[in-house]
Each structure stands twice: as structure tokens, then as C-alpha cells.
Chain A
Amino acid sequence: MASDTPSAAAHVFEQTEMLLNMGPQHPSTHGVLRVLLKLDGETVVDLDCDIGYLHRGVEKICEHDTYPMITPYFDRLDYVAAVNGDLVYVEAVERLMGVELPRRAEYLRVILAELQRIASHLLWLATHALDIGAATIFLYAFREREEILKIFENFTGARLTAHAFRIGGLQWDANPEFVRDVLAFLDILPGRIDEYETILSENRIWLARTVGIGVLTAADAIDTGLTGPVLRGSGVAYDVRRAAPYSVYPEFDFEIPTGDTGDTYDRYLVRMQELRQSVRIVRQAIEGLPEGSVMAARVPRVIKPPAGEVFHTNESPKGEIGVYLVSDGTNTPYRLRVRPPCFVNLQALKQLAVGHLVADVVALIGTIDIVLGEVDR
């Protein structure tokens, strides 16, 4: 702006920042996330996340419920990966009680948890691709996810909020068709993953929207507390299944895929590889599935873990989910804290998005893979 006198031309070139409210009813925020964007033109200058629209006070409710009554609430934290939520809670209680599980129960738990990881990643792929504009993938991924949900339905009795595990084992042994169904699904899935990658991995539009978008260095990612595929996309091979092994994961052979540059495309590649690794784990678990009981023999009818505390973490599809359980020896927890991976990972959105275009924010929310049920609890 050259002249000091106000003129029409000067007004046109005047620089203003604009506040844009995205959500909580925006389809690509994957729930009730509200993002306040400060824009300079189309570039994001600053942003602030407003969360809490789905806050149900689960941690408070848990202090007033007995131990078995809490498991269904963990289905509803990360409702697209309910089984992983169940797993971390029942394992935390079992660890405090010192319950030793039959091997069949452990194997069935791993199979269900890995199937849930596949289902969650497929849902992520479907919605992330749809956000960016690849609508074909959406229905393809949902089609495969449906098969997993059918397996869950036949095994546990519900498709999404499975309530799969009980403290001390499982409620039911596998249904008779379980092994057949899972093997049939495992035969289909790798070919379908190839199809997704044929559609996306080299597609120039996909590359333009993901390569170089939201780059996080390894040091930055750790500093921000990221876990899960978002951290591994930045090249840190940190996976709780290896870092602090739980259940029977040490018995399985699998790799931890990592990315190089830490951009959105790398995180996509990491999750696609994780799908294949999960298929590997499920196949090994099905082949080695032992016979026997699915409930530990010495689980008391009224569950009263001894006074003490434990912090137990699992690798959920979104990252490291943890339960910090403080027991005072009664039948309700004294304090139960959920370490939510989505909540912590969402914090990185600001770092990722500043400097990018407003359309990339959609891609970046997708790449973090959040579920608001877990962010808000």
C-alpha cells in the first residue's frame, strides 16, 4: 500500500484476518469437534480447538459403579474401537488383582482386538479419503468393515459396543463358526488392501493433498506426546505391543511400520501397513488357538481388587490408551483415569495446521484419527 490517503484500491488490498468457525456440526470433524480458525486469506494463522461437547463424565461415573459395570462404558469411549477399550480396562483390573488368564482367553482377546484395529483403520481410511474427496474408497472400506462387525455380532452379541471381555476372561467361548469366518475374512482382506492402495497410493490428487502436509519431526511428535500411528509416521518405532508387552503379544511375529518424513502421506502408509500386520497377527493367533476354558478359575463373584494402584496401557488403533486405576479395596474404584490417545493427539492439530490452507485442516483432522467419544469422555 503506497498512498496514505484512503482509496478504493487501498481498501481492496487491506490485510484482515478472519475468524472461521468450523464445527461442531461439520461433517469432516468426525464428531462434535469445534475448531476456531484464524485465517489470513486461505492460510491458517492460528487455531483453537473447542472440545467437551460429548463430555459425559465417565471418570466420575466410574467412581460410583462396581467394577463389572464399568466395562460397557469403555465401549463408549472410542466407539469405533470398543474392543480395545474393553481390553485395557479388564487387563488393568486383572493386573491389580493378579488374575492369571487361560491361554485360550488371551488368544481370543488378541484376535478380537486385532480385528477391531483393522475395523478402526478401515473406518479411518474410509472417512479420511472421503474428506479429501476420494469417495470410492468409502464404500469399499465399509464393505470389509462390515465383515468384521458380523464376526463381532456372532461372537459378542453386538456390532459396535461389543462388551467383549469380562474381568477374568470372556463371557462366551467363540461361536462354532468363528474360526471359519475369521479365516474367510483374512483370505479376502489382503487383496482388498491392494485395491485400496491401487486407487490411492499413486493417485496424483491423493498425493497432492497428502504429501508434505502436516509434517511432524520425530522430536516434535514425542514432545507433543503423540502415540500410535501418528508417532510412527514420524519415524519413531514406538508400539506398546512391543514397548510394554501385554497379553500374549510377545508370542507373535509382526513388524512395526514407520514412516520417514512424518507427513500425512506417511501416516497413511503406516496405517495401511498396520492393516497387513494385524492380518498377520490374527492369522498366527487363529493357527495357534489353544483349547481350554475362557474364564480364569479363581475370579471372585464380587470383584474387589486389593488396595493399590496400577497404570496399564495398551496399543489402541489411535495410540496408547491407558487406565490409571486407584483401588481402595472396595467394590468400586477410588479413582479411574483414562489416558486418552485421541485427546493428546488432537493437541497436535495446531502445530500441524498453522501455515497450511484451510482445506488441509480437514485432511489433518482425518490424519490424526480422532474419535470425539474418547477426546471428551
Chain B
Amino acid sequence: MKNLSLGRYIPNDTFIHRLDPRTKILAMIFLLVIVFMEIGFLGYFILGIFLLILLKVTKVSFRTLFRLIKNMWFMFLFLFIINILSFQRGNVLLDLEFFKIYDSGIYQTLYIIIRLVIMITITTILTTSTKPLDMTYGLEYLMTPLKIIKFPTHEIAMIISIALRFIPTLLDETERIMKAQASRGSILSEGKLKDKIPAIISLIIPLFFSAFKRSDELADAMEARGYDPSAKRTRYRVLKFTSSDWLSLSLIVVITAGFVYLSFNKEMIESLLGIDLWR
């Protein structure tokens, strides 16, 4: 279970940790919007440097992030192959008798990989610096306008917080059942897929069984205490916007505006800097 520390909340006391979860969620949305704009390699370079600074401030170790990204090598390879096969325009880089490799395929793959890496970085910064519960409170608050269209914001937030609450419990349970089955000679980590199937079944069935039992008990316990989702309730921890939240949000808005400007005026900036941003 060692890999599970990846992307998990790491208690610390940094500027980013202290920010209001709502600020962080909004900032993440802005940054994700930037990732999907056409900002060219220059834009990604600038965004990358900004994120490196954020990582440094949040004290996320680069090793942790690298391990997260490393696990995706297969997906990157797959994307690369698909793109090379499907992009058949632009300049020919390599001409094999039966098919040609074009530069646009390579560029496209690079783009997607850069976007994925940046997205992972952004979400890692959010999840390592924000307690899961704070995150749900933040989400619930940000979703309040949706109440007008009868969107069950409180219920959704409750579902998310219960789900988050049970992740460690279920992981413990998984580990326990894996160990119990390993004691009976079933080994998940080695052998052919054919031999692994009974081992996987021996893990999944007990896990489902206990998860259903747990949810049943939890529902009963909540009802026994008179839980009513539509009841009006106050909050023990009240989220508060501070000056650093306003500052951070303004900074993010300015940055986003800058990138919007960049993406709409690429040609002008290209000619100004005298470099080819591509596309």
C-alpha cells in the first residue's frame, strides 16, 4: 500500500495550505481552463514555471510528483502511436515505404503529454494542501447557486464527504483481506493473469460484502440520530475569506487574463518575439 501516499493530503503550514479551500478550487478551475486554451509552447513554458513556484511553496517533493507521472508512461506511449498513425498532414519527418510519420503527430502528442502533466501537477497541489473535508465544504459553498435549479448540493457534498471518509477504511479492509487470502496461499502480485483471477475474486467479493454491510450500518446510524438532508443546519467550521485569499484570486484572474490575451494574439506575439510558437 506504499503508493497510496501519492496525491494524499500532507499536513503542513504553508501559504497555500492556509488558503481558503474555495480559493484553491476556483484557482484550480482557472488554471485548468488555461491548460485547455491554445497557448503554444511558450504559454506552457510560462505556466510550467508558475506551477514550479507553487510546488515549491506547497513543499510537494518533486519525487512524489515524478512517481505519479511515471505511472502513466504506458498511456503516453499509446497516445504517441495513435497520433503518429492518425495525423497525416504537415511535414514528413520519416518516410517509410508503407506509411509516413508527420511532425504534426509528434507535436500533438507532446501537447497532450504537457497538458496531462500540468493537470496532474495542478490537482496534486490542491489535494496535498487541502484537507478532503475542507474541499467538500468548499465545493458545497461553490455549488450553492445551483440550488435555484433544485440541484441537491448538500446531498452531493454529504455523499462526497462520506466517500472520502471511507477511503482509508476500505483500504485497510482491502489490505486485511489480501493478507488473509495470502495466508491461504493466494498471491495477487505474481503469476499469469489466468492464475491471478481467483486471487482477484477472493479479494473483491469480501470487499463488496463488507462495503455494503458498512453502508447499511452507517445509514441506520444516521437515521437513528434523525438525519434529515433537507434540514437547515449551521456549520461548526465557518469558511472565511482573508486578504491573502483575495490577493491570490486576483493574481490568478490576472494570470488567466494574460493567457487569454496570449491565445488570441499569438501571431502578434510571435512576430514581436521573432520566434515560431507553432500552430
Partners in one complex: no
> B-side interface residues toward A, CB under 8 Å?
none
